[in-house]
Amino acid sequence: MHDDRRITEQRLDRFVRERILPAIYGRAIPLQLSSWDAPGEPVPAAEAIRQLFTPQEHGAPWGKAWSTKWLHLQGEVPQDWGMAESTSVEIIVDLGFNSDAPGFQCEGTAWRADGSIIKAISPRNFHVPLKLLGGGLSVDFYVEAAANPDVAQGWSFAPTPLGDKATSGDDPRYRLGRIAMAELNETVWELNQDIWTLSGLMHELPTELPRRHEILRALERMLDVMDPDDVAGTAAAGREELKAVLDRPAYASAHQLLATGHAHIDSAWLWPVRETIRKCARTFSNVVALMDEDPDFVFSCSSAQQMAWIKEYFPELFVRIREKVKAGQFIPVGGMWVESDTNMPGGEAMARQFVEGKSFFLKEFDVECQEAWLPDSFGYSGAIPQIVKEAGSRWFLTQKISWNKVNRMPHHTFTWEGIDGTRLFTHFPPVDSYNAELHGRELAHAERNYRDHGRGTMSLVPFGYGDGGGGPTREMVAAAHRTADLEGSPKVRMGTAKDFFTQAEAEYANLPVWVGEMYLEMHRGTYTSQAKTKRGNRRSEHLLREAELWCSTAAVRLGADYAYPRDELKRLWRLVLLQQFHDILPGSSIAWVHQDAERNYEAISRDLEAIISEAAQALVGDGDTSYLLNAAPHRRDGVAALGIGEGAGSGAGVQVDQSGESFILDNGVIRAVLDGNGLLTSLVDHASGRDAIAPGQTGNLLELFRDTPNEWDAWDIEEFYRRNVTQLTQADTIDLERTPAGAVVVVQRKVGASTITQRVTLDAGAKSLGIATTVDWQEREKMLKIAFPLDVRADRSASETQFGHVFRPTHTNTSWEAAKFEICAHRWIHVAEPGYGVAVSNSSSYGHDVTRAVRPDGGTTTTVRTSLLRSARFPDPEADRGEHTLELSIRPGAAIADAVEEGYRTNLKPRFVTGGHAVEPLVSVSNPAVVVEAVKLAEDGSGDVIVRLYESLGERSAATVRPGFEAVGATATDLLERVAVAPGVTAGEDSEVHLVLRPFQLVTLRFTR
């Protein structure tokens, strides 16, 4: 037989494009239009509908960036429309869409005249069925049209002013397209779905497989029987020709795909939070309408914050969603407040993501999520398995690791083992997308790509337009039905994530194990971009720690005389958790988002400072004595951990000598030498007598790197950045200041258009040297790091993560190690050889790198660098420009325990209050290796005290925990404060709790008052 395959495929493509698609809608008439332009930010529907609407021209330009236009659509349906079999009436609304990008442009929401929401209007979902308007033959409804600009610009990563309302311009960005009442031919629409499914499958089948040719010839027969001049009249005959190939059942061994509707709605990204709220309403109204049409359709919603927005701003829609939850179609998943970043949030914040998310879903829907759902976060901390399990969940899902640039994950279904040994059933969907359309190409890829064939038989597919694109469509649901049992295709079944995990866990025993973090070999720049957002996060986390501690202490010590601000603390926690979303905290959003974040952090700081001040003053009472509030988990300046007392002196003062141009600072604990340019030439701890700085090299070395990633500017750092570096070795001025606490060397430098002032501080009794770097940053496409070349032969570095730390090799023996050229650490990073180590702590930085070199003398130099600032041009062309202060300390002769203590010291600055008496700690722990991370009152309002603690050194540690108040009992709980089994936890007498903890074990204790 002659091979005419290409000819037939081309014939099919043109026939669909020119004949079938135009025939989906038959008769059509334009609607009467009027409009009203919202003068500023969006307004509620009820308010907009009351406005004076004026006539609106069809096809007119509209919408300056970020504006809102309300359209009023009116008309009468002809009597004979929709009367024929398989026809119905719909309104089609084209706001000027580009159908190539469903989530990154204008979109709309349809509203009834009574102010109830109908559904979304989006580039690939622009129809409104007449039956949704309330019946009758009159068309009378409103469309809220949002002129969201296309910030992505085809993913060119070019700088754009569109991400800031102040610079986005006043010119209209769109032109109204077709807005009409039309008659839908359902048979033609169904035929189009048949063709789409079969053609997609056909193109994925090998040419030598008979099934491919069988589908081709069926499509050819369909083309032959159909009349191109009467598509509507011959569509049924065309469908009949395809019936036999659509009815062929799948292979018995076909891979099974559980498809769950999804809409990965970024809580902010290339649009502000205020637009996300509307995107949620559009998407969720869409899926509820789909559920009304198809009882098999199931949708997974992963963010409690988004549901809270719907409850607050769209209560009528929230009621409808609640009904669908009860019906088992609208499924809360994930159990987190937002789909947060997991690299940078602190331990308690990561725990609160689950506490707030799961509590909300339980309260509002009586649903407890069993899976953590994080398809798009930029890598996954090794602490996550324990946190997920402690929250009462069983499973984990991610997708983003498919973006790895170098190494491919070896499994799709596996056990993930965390830093403490907790194991978690994990799935990584082989479809490699969280925005699937259920196209044949995607389904075939999922089957081919699955790496666990022979052991597992199924995987999960989240389908629906994401990133704000509107979620699943009726076309996707149609594809799911057609591929449920189709030869050549995986078997697709719609269902819930719980359905998938339950079945996959049951069928797949002896899972392979992945140990430690799941590092994303991409988006490493997110540890550094938008420094003010990161500083706001770190500061907020520690202010919340202080506020909860002192408020709890006041509530217990003062009883009825002090009211615990439960609601206000919850509000502030939720605001902090929102800003840990995986495009806000990482610094990968438009300017508007980060301006909002900075304003929010300022408000959070102001409110928490007031709460702390009120609680502290209530605790110490009236008087003239100055007291130190020690919120750290370690004794500080003579004051017990978590207590309030008169601080002891810090010991002898600081001796300052000058030798030539060098400054020598010595407090009897450590000795630091800075040369005439402010570079650290020596750092000795007197206990060991050893110099931490490598011979002939200098620390406190600022290095400026070229930073021009191939794409994804705010997200990425490429390894080749290291090849272009300028070392800032020259100082403009250097001066010495004496302070009551010690001595400060002040160094000023200039680089490019930026000025840098460093304050290098040694205080009396301090075990570390402090360095505060203030930068008026005006660079573009540059990265600023601070380097410490250390005389330490370290084969690995330790970086703090949630409730522990993670080790990473300093060498690059394998491609996995080489890919980790930029790593994330929380408050500290530590490098050591047996018997000696150095810790570098920071107050707001997360990005680091550690390199090593062997010197001619045979010694090894291990260089620790902390990334201070970047200056990406997309999506915020002014990212990080302005003034920043970044603080760190370097502690020589430090063990891991010293690094842990130094991290808290750097982030919990001394706080003093004047009053009449000291305050004993609410709780004490006998072993400093066991660190208290949070003290708070119970969520249930009982007044019980909750203490969250963890083993911090990575070793087996024993401790006794004693309440400093009258308690009638103590129990171990999960993160949601429900009684739980905690290995190594034993209740003793007088409500003491005895602990024998495994490395990094996390424990939550409830002391009953």
What positions carry a catalytic annotation?
376
Looking at residue 583, its amino acid is D
Please give the Cα distance from 183 to 81 (Å, whole number): 7
Tokens of 479: 């594809």
Contact 77, 191 (CB under 8 A): no
Please give the Cα distance from 156 to 178 (Å, whole number): 29
CA max distance for the chain:
102
Query: What's 489's DSSP letter?
Result: S
Helices (H) and strands (E) in the chain, counts: 19, 53
Please give the Cα distance from 384 to 251 (Å, whole number): 38
CA 604 to chain centre: 20
Please give the Cα distance from 206 to 213 (Å, whole number): 10
- Residue listed under structure tokens 């999804």: 262
Question: Regarding beta strands 945-951 and 930-937, do their DSSP bridges make them parallel or antiparallel, or are they unpaired?
Answer: antiparallel
Tokens of 996: 């024998």
Tokens of 344: 């940078």
Please give the Cα distance from 899 to 879 (Å, whole number): 31
Please give the Cα distance from 785 to 850 (Å, whole number): 12
Please give the Cα distance from 423 to 902 (Å, whole number): 30
The CA-based angle 838-841-846, given to 5 degrees, is: 120
Contact 960, 991 (CB under 8 A): no
- Give the three-state DSSP class for 239: helix
759 Cβ contact list (under 8 Å, min separation 6): 744, 745, 746, 770, 771, 772, 774
Integer-rounded Cα Rg, in Å, for the chain is 31
Say how many Å lie between the first and final Cα of the chain, rounded.
87
> Backbone phi, then psi, for 491, in 5-degree steps?
-85, 120
Which of 404, 272, 266, 386 has its CA nearest to residue 338? 266
> Backbone phi, then psi, for 216, in 5-degree steps?
-60, -45
Contact 531, 876 (CB under 8 A): no
Which of 528, 539, 928 has its CA nearest to residue 705? 528
Beta strands in 186-265 (DSSP E): 256-262
Which of 912, 772, 793 has its CA nearest to residue 843? 772
Looking at residue 258, its amino acid is L
Q: Residue 799: which H helix or E strand, with range?
A: strand 796-801
DSSP labels, 139-188: EEEEEEEE----SSGGGT----GGGSTTTS-SS--EE---EEEEEEEHHH
Please give the Cα distance from 243 to 590 (Å, whole number): 49
- Give the three-state DSSP class for 739: coil
The residues that bridge with 465 in the sheet, in sequence order, are: 471
Please give the Cα distance from 15 to 24 (Å, whole number): 13
Which of 751, 705, 752 has its CA nearest to residue 724? 705
Please give the Cα distance from 410 to 518 (Å, whole number): 12
Which of 430, 442, 436 has its CA nearest to residue 504? 430
The residues that bridge with 639 in the sheet, in sequence order, are: 636
Tokens of 620: 């110490």
Tokens of 628: 């130190």
